[in-house]
């Protein structure tokens, strides 16, 4: 059946609202007759619809519903027939790069955000483009296009509007029928060292958004709620206290300030909320997962110690006013980038003979937390990965018990987990039928080292240079990092099954009533597992590393499973050798959106085989070691975040050792200083001198020559 056009669908929505036959609080409305035949059901995307766990037709919000479980009650595809899944339709996006987002689906229309924050609406049965909205990110950025994060993890929908938050800090409302801008507000001054990569959170007619930026300069985190209809600012909650001399915005900030020492406000303090927001419709509470400190190194940020509230916490807020309700801090006085920005999943759990309204949270620090969300009280916390910064979490105090060397008192220590986290933003899911949470886990260790950092005079750089106050690098002493898919029982807080995976950065999971768990892999396979046992039931090679989580929906009674295929984000940038080994060289493989069904018969065009970028010889370029040595510092503070450690790119940006542009001072300056590739996400570093550019070129060529000489000597 051909899809009815969106304008007709929305006309139906408007008719319903005008007639108020069931009121805006109702979720799915009965089918409406429109001219030309039987209309599909029209969904009003509101609180009732987003709280409705029972309907599997749509995927209305980032975590599907308000619970953020990423559980679908659909069971047409199940553990008995999943082996028959095939490609129903696909669309190629040759001009996109990292695709990491969760698509949303409403009444047969699929919406998703791609590179440079472009939003597309597609027919969810064919992939046919209905509209595209380009927020013109480069044209709207301030003087500095932020390095690294031109991708975005998702959008929001409320009634007849799509909400997109942009890299440069705007929150934009877009008409769901036409893709035209309705309103746009700046959520921060574009000159500030902030950016947005997260999905707006919609609840009760409000749109909530935070930002990232603790690694871009001195930042003070906050979240803001706007009126969904008008864009008017409703409330703002600051996550860390500002300068006491200027007065505190709230009692919560007054309380938080008592946990800081020194002159933290000069460094911003951090805490930026860039990802985990959950609205609890049952208790009418909002939960914010908060970020790490700015700078990371607490010896600089808060030299007398202290918990530094509300860094690395779950903070519960009143959704109508933004007022503080309670908090639980996972990593007091953090000094490792162990933020708590990860997803916050709600479920009723039977614990000790009682039904507990619980929330689950697996932050970077490696502990899996189960918390009573009525009170904020910790129920259990157990390591879900290797942890050596703390021995355990004391259930009486709710605090981690740190190991003696964890805070690098002697300047250097090897720790696990890492700044990439034992779990990052890649979504976990929870299946109420199996009672298991499915977590993409990262296993790795790094060396933290603040020797050589002058902690008394340290100042944060803006956009480039040292913003962390402590160096870190991947530790290969115990082999390269790896991953796993872990099924965890939150009642016992123990692992039930676990599948080892190659590489770090394996993407988010989805689970269904068909006793299935779906997950892509960094190796390019899309896999379905038996949700109860972890047995692999189906695998489909997609020929490019997967960084996005799948979604599922129905149209005309047929179940689809859709997934963006587009290697990107942190693992594609700073993943180090384990990510380089995947072989997803920048620009080599085509980015796609692929939808599967039980009667899918399409054959995807083949992708080029994985092939890590190879350094090219530039015979006329003679490396000068002194320039190369100085060039390392210039490279590390600017280029490394996208182009990789040791100038080896894991795929998010070009491998500079393989670029002939390095052979020409003019061509290099055109890109790096002139901004000729800003539309590809490459910032312009307009103030760099010829000498700095020269040093960077010599550093990169030295790294290229090393590989070329090794190859020649064999
Ligand atoms: Ca961070």
Q: For the segment 670-693, what is each residue's pLDDT rounded down to a tens digit?
A: 999 999 999 998 999 999 999 999
User: Is residue 564 situated within a structural domain?
Assistant: yes
C-alpha to C-alpha distance for 289 and 340, rounded to whole angstroms: 5
**389 to each of 338, 414, 477, how far by Cα in Å?**
11, 9, 17
Q: Confidence class of residue 17 from pLDDT cuts 50, 70 and 90?
A: very low
Name the strand (E) or helix (H) holding 139: helix 137-140
CATH code at position 592: 2.40.10.480
Cβ-based burial of 122 (10 A; exposed 0-12, middle 13-18, buried ≥19) = buried
Interval between CA 397 and ligand 1 midpoint (Å): 26
Q: Are residues 551 and 438 in the same domain?
A: yes
CATH code at position 654: 1.10.760.10
Lookup result for tokens 């010599």: 698
- Domain end, chosen from 566, 588, 612, is at 612
Q: Confidence class of residue 581 from pLDDT cuts 50, 70 and 90?
A: confident
Instruction: For strands 71-72 and 509-512, give the pairing.
Output: parallel
C-alpha to C-alpha distance for 408 and 414, rounded to whole angstroms: 9
User: Is residue 20 situated within a structural domain?
Assistant: no
Question: What letters, b where the CB count within 10 A reaches 16 and e where it falls short, cover 271-285?
Answer: bbbbbbbbbbbeeeb
- Cβ 604 vs Cβ 669: under 8 Å: no
C-alpha to C-alpha distance for 99 and 117, rounded to whole angstroms: 10
Give the pLDDT mean for 39-44. Answer: 78
Is the pLDDT score of 9 beyond 50?
Answer: no
- Give me the pLDDT at residue 26, please: 37
- Give me the pLDDT at residue 458, please: 96
Give the least confident one: 21-35, 323-337, 430-444: 21-35
Q: Confidence class of residue 481 from pLDDT cuts 50, 70 and 90?
A: confident
Q: Confidence class of residue 339 from pLDDT cuts 50, 70 and 90?
A: very high
Cβ-based burial of 357 (10 A; exposed 0-12, middle 13-18, buried ≥19) = middle
C-alpha to C-alpha distance for 529 and 436, rounded to whole angstroms: 13
- Cβ 200 vs Cβ 164: under 8 Å: yes
State the catalytic residues: 337
118-134 per-position pLDDT tens digit? 999 999 999 999 999 99
Give the pLDDT mean for 649-670. Answer: 95
What total number of domains does the chain contain? 2
Q: What's the Rg (C-alpha) of the chain?
A: 25
Interval between CA 388 and ligand 1 midpoint (Å): 19
C-alpha to C-alpha distance for 652 and 629, rounded to whole angstroms: 25
Beta strands in 134-200 (DSSP E): 156-158, 161-165, 170-175, 181-186
Beta strands in 109-254 (DSSP E): 109-113, 119-123, 129-133, 156-158, 161-165, 170-175, 181-186, 201-203, 206-209, 222-227, 233-238
Interval between CA 215 and ligand 1 midpoint (Å): 6
Lookup result for tokens 């109860």: 532
User: Is residue 540 situated within a structural domain?
Assistant: yes
- Give me the pLDDT at residue 25, please: 34
- Cβ 593 vs Cβ 90: under 8 Å: yes
- Report the percent of the chain where pLDDT is more than 90: 85
C-alpha to C-alpha distance for 396 and 288, rounded to whole angstroms: 24
C-alpha to C-alpha distance for 629 and 548, rounded to whole angstroms: 38
Give the pLDDT mean for 617-624. Answer: 96
Q: Are residues 646 and 685 in the same domain?
A: yes
Interval between CA 384 and ligand 1 midpoint (Å): 20
Interval between CA 106 and ligand 1 midpoint (Å): 33
Interval between CA 296 and ligand 1 midpoint (Å): 8
- Cβ 681 vs Cβ 146: under 8 Å: no
Is the pLDDT score of 14 beyond 70?
Answer: no
Give the least confident one: 103-112, 491-500, 569-578: 569-578
Q: Give the phi and the psi of residue 167 in degrees, each rounded to 5.
A: -50, -40
- Give me the pLDDT at residue 570, please: 86
- Domain end, chosen from 612, 638, 672, is at 612
- Give me the pLDDT at residue 143, please: 77
- For ligand 1, a single-atom ion, the residues with CB < 5 A are 292, 337
Structure-model confidence comparison of residues 34 and 248, the more confident one: 248
Give the pLDDT mean for 5-20. Answer: 38
C-beta neighbour count of 454 within 10 angstroms:
10
Closest CA to 199 of 102, 291, 64, 107: 102
- Map residue 12 onto helix, strand or coil: helix
Closest CA to 664 of 624, 629, 620, 707: 620
Give the pLDDT mean for 67-76. Answer: 98
- Give me the pLDDT at residue 477, please: 65
Give the least confident one: 181-185, 441-445, 480-484, 515-519: 480-484
Q: Are residues 440 and 584 in the same domain?
A: yes
User: Is residue 591 situated within a structural domain?
Assistant: yes
Q: Are residues 581 and 527 in the same domain?
A: yes
Print the domain residue range for 667.
625-712
Q: Are residues 507 and 630 in the same domain?
A: no
Q: Confidence class of residue 12 from pLDDT cuts 50, 70 and 90?
A: very low
- The helices-and-strands tally (H runs, E runs) of the chain is 11, 40
Structure-model confidence comparison of residues 612 and 697, the more confident one: 697
- Domain end, chosen from 612, 637, 663, is at 612
Q: Confidence class of residue 27 from pLDDT cuts 50, 70 and 90?
A: very low
End-to-end CA distance of the chain: 62
Q: Confidence class of residue 24 from pLDDT cuts 50, 70 and 90?
A: very low
Q: Are residues 642 and 685 in the same domain?
A: yes
Is the pLDDT score of 712 beyond 80?
Answer: no
Is the pLDDT score of 8 beyond 50?
Answer: no
Instruction: For strands 161-165 and 156-158, give the pairing.
Output: antiparallel
Structure-model confidence comparison of residues 377 and 25, the more confident one: 377
- Residue 310 preceded by cis peptide, ω within 30: yes
User: Is residue 600 situated within a structural domain?
Assistant: yes
Q: Are residues 587 and 438 in the same domain?
A: yes
- Give me the pLDDT at residue 711, please: 77
- Give me the pLDDT at residue 279, please: 98
Is the pLDDT score of 699 beyond 50?
Answer: yes
Q: Are residues 532 and 498 in the same domain?
A: yes
Interval between CA 92 and ligand 1 midpoint (Å): 32
Q: Confidence class of residue 32 from pLDDT cuts 50, 70 and 90?
A: very low
User: Is residue 408 situated within a structural domain?
Assistant: no
User: Is residue 215 situated within a structural domain?
Assistant: no
- Give me the pLDDT at residue 40, please: 55
Lookup result for tokens 């993409």: 440
Give the pLDDT mean for 649-659. Answer: 94
Name the strand (E) or helix (H) holding 13: helix 6-19
C-beta neighbour count of 41 within 10 angstroms:
16
Q: Are residues 498 and 605 in the same domain?
A: yes
C-alpha to C-alpha distance for 398 and 147, rounded to whole angstroms: 37
Is the pLDDT score of 561 beyond 50?
Answer: yes
Q: Are residues 671 and 543 in the same domain?
A: no
Q: Are residues 591 and 672 in the same domain?
A: no
C-beta neighbour count of 304 within 10 angstroms:
9
- Give me the pLDDT at residue 144, please: 79
User: Is residue 528 situated within a structural domain?
Assistant: yes
Structure tokens at 549: 């989580």
Interval between CA 419 and ligand 1 midpoint (Å): 7
Closest CA to 427 of 343, 520, 525, 516: 343
Interval between CA 73 and ligand 1 midpoint (Å): 35
Mean pLDDT of the residues in the chain: 92
The torsion angle over the Cα atoms of residues 364, 527, 558 and 62, rounded to 10 degrees, is 10
Structure tokens at 68: 């953020």
Q: Are residues 493 and 606 in the same domain?
A: yes
Give the least confident one: 223-232, 254-263, 463-472: 463-472
- Give me the pLDDT at residue 578, please: 80
- Give me the pLDDT at residue 376, please: 97
């Amino acid at each position: 059946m051909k899809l009815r056009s969106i304008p007709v669908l929305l006309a139906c929505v408007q008719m319903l609202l005008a007639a108020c036959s069931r009121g805006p609080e109702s979720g799915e409305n009965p089918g409406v007759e429109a001219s030309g035949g039987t209309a599909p059901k029209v969904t009003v995307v509101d609180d009732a619809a987003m709280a409705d766990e029972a309907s599997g037709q749509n995927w209305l919000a980032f975590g599907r519903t308000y619970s953020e479980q990423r559980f679908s009650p659909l069971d047409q595809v199940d553990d008995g027939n999943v082996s028959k899944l095939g490609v129903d339709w696909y669309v190629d996006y040759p001009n996109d790069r990292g695709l990491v987002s969760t698509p949303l689906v409403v009444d047969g229309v699929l919406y998703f955000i791609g590179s440079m924050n472009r939003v597309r609406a597609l027919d969810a049965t064919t992939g046919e483009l209905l509209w595209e909205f380009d927020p013109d990110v480069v044209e709207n950025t301030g003087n500095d296009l932020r390095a690294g994060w031109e991708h975005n993890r998702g959008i929001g929908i409320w009634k007849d509007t799509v909400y997109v938050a942009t890299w440069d800090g705007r929150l934009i409302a877009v008409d769901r029928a036409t893709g035209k801008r309705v309103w746009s507000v700046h959520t921060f001054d574009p000159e500030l060292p902030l950016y947005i990569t997260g999905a707006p959170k919609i609840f009760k007619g409000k749109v909530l958004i935070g930002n990232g930026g603790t690694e871009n300069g001195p930042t003070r985190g906050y979240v803001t709620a706007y009126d969904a209809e008008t864009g008017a600012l409703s409330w703002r909650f600051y996550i860390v206290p500002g300068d006491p001399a200027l007065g505190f915005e709230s009692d919560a900030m007054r309380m938080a300030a008592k946990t800081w020492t020194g002159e933290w406000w000069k460094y911003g303090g951090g805490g930026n909320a860039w990802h985990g927001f959950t609205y609890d419709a049952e208790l009418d509470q909002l939960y914010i997962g908060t970020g790490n400190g700015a700078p990371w190194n607490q010896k600089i940020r808060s030299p007398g110690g202290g918990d530094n509230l509300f860094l690395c916490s779950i903070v519960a807020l009143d959704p109508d006013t933004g007022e503080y309700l309670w908090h639980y801090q996972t990593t007091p006085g953090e000094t490792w980038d162990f933020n708590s920005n990860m997803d916050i999943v709600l479920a009723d759990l039977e614990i000790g003979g009682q039904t507990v309204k619980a929330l689950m949270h697996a932050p970077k620090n490696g502990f899996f937390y189960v918390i009573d969300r009525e009170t904020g009280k910790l129920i259990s916390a157990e390591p879900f990965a290797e942890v050596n910064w703390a021995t355990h979490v004391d259930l009486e105090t709710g605090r981690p018990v740190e190991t003696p060397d964890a805070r690098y008192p002697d300047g250097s220590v090897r720790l696990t987990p890492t700044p990439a986290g034992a779990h990052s933003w890649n979504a976990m899911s929870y299946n109420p039928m199996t009672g298991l949470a499915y977590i993409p886990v990262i296993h790795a260790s790094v060396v933290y080292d603040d020797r050589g950092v002058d902690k008394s005079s340290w100042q944060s750089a803006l956009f480039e240079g040292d913003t962390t106050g402590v160096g870190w690098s991947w530790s290969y002493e115990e082999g390269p990092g790896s991953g796993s898919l872990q099924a965890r029982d939150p009642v016992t807080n123990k692992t039930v099954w676990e599948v080892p995976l190659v590489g770090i950065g394996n993407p988010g999971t989805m689970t269904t009533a068909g006793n299935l768990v779906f997950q892509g892999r960094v190796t390019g396979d899309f896999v379905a597992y038996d949700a109860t046992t972890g047995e692999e039931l189906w695998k489909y090679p997609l020929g490019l590393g997967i960084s996005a989580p799948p979604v599922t929906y129905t149209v005309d009674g047929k179940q689809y499973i859709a997934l963006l295929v587009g290697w990107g984000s942190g693992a594609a940038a700073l993943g180090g050798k384990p990510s380089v080994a995947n072989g997803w060289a920048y620009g080599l493989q085509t980015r796609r959106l692929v939808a599967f069904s039980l009667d899918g018969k399409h054959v995807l065009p083949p992708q080029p085989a994985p092939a890590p970028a190879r350094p090219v010889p530039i015979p006329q370029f003679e490396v000068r070691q002194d320039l190369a040595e100085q060039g390392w510092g210039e490279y590390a503070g600017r280029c490394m975040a996208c182009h990789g450690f040791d100038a080896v790119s894991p795929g998010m940006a070009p491998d500079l050792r393989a670029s002939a542009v390095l052979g020409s001072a003019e061509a290099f300056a055109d890109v790096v200083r002139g901004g000729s590739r800003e539309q590809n996400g490459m910032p312009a570093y307009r103030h760099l001198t010829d000498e700095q550019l020269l040093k960077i070129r010599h550093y990169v060529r030295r790294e290229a020559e090393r590989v070329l000489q090794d190859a020649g000597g064999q």
